[in-house]
Amino acid sequence: MPYCRDMGEHTNATRVMSADPETVLATVVDIEAYPRWTSQITRAEVFALDAAGMPSDAELRMDAGLLKDVLRLRYRVTRRGPEAEVAWTLVAAQQLRSLEGSYRIVPTAQGCTVTYTLNVDPGIPIITALRRKAEATVVSVALDDLAREVERRNTERAHPE
């Protein structure tokens, strides 16, 4: 049976969101708010911002089923015209050996598409199918949580109290 020991393949999923790309980007880079709206992050702290005021160094406590850890991540926010990508790589963790991920936000006529890509090396031998299933669950739940939060922010903006 194949075991995961390298970072050769990744898991991704794309979701169409009826929200403007700026709202989605603002939600993704609001890392310290993650514990309020994502089911997989229980604590988040940003340690540094880049020259544009975007997060560049943060620590997150993740509890996503098989994937539980305290992660120190290096972030990079890239804009290409109306498209944006928020990418992160693992700097340090208690258990994971490596982790890479990104949200890619692409405008559409109805809002935008968001593609979440994730690649995790858990640091222990694990059956590849199990690792991929865990990654797919993390990606799916993260996109669901993001879509709900973006919708909440859109509603709040449209109907301020």
Determine the average pLDDT of the residues in 120-148: 85
**pTM for the predicted model, two decimal places:** 0.88
Is the per-residue pLDDT at 71 higher than 60? yes
Q: Is pLDDT at 7 greater than 60 in this prediction?
A: no
Q: b/e per residue, 119-131, with b = 16+ CB within 10 A? A: bbbbbeebeeeeb
What's the confidence (pLDDT) of residue 3? Answer: 31
Write b or e for each residue in 12-47: b if 16 or more Cβ atoms lie within 10 A of its Cβ, otherwise e. eeebebebbbebbbebbbbbeebeebbebbeebebe
Spatial distance between the Cα atoms of 114 and 85, rounded to a whole number of angstroms: 9
State yes or no: pLDDT of 6 exceeds 70: no
74 close to 55: Cβ distance less than 8 angstroms:
no
**Contacts by 87-95, CB closer than 8 A, 24 or more apart:** 91/57, 93/69, 93/123, 94/69, 94/70, 95/68, 95/69, 95/122, 95/123, 95/124
Total Cβ atoms within 10 A of residue 48: 10
Percent of the chain with pLDDT over 70: 93
The structural domains of the chain, ordered by start, are 11-155 (3.30.530.20)
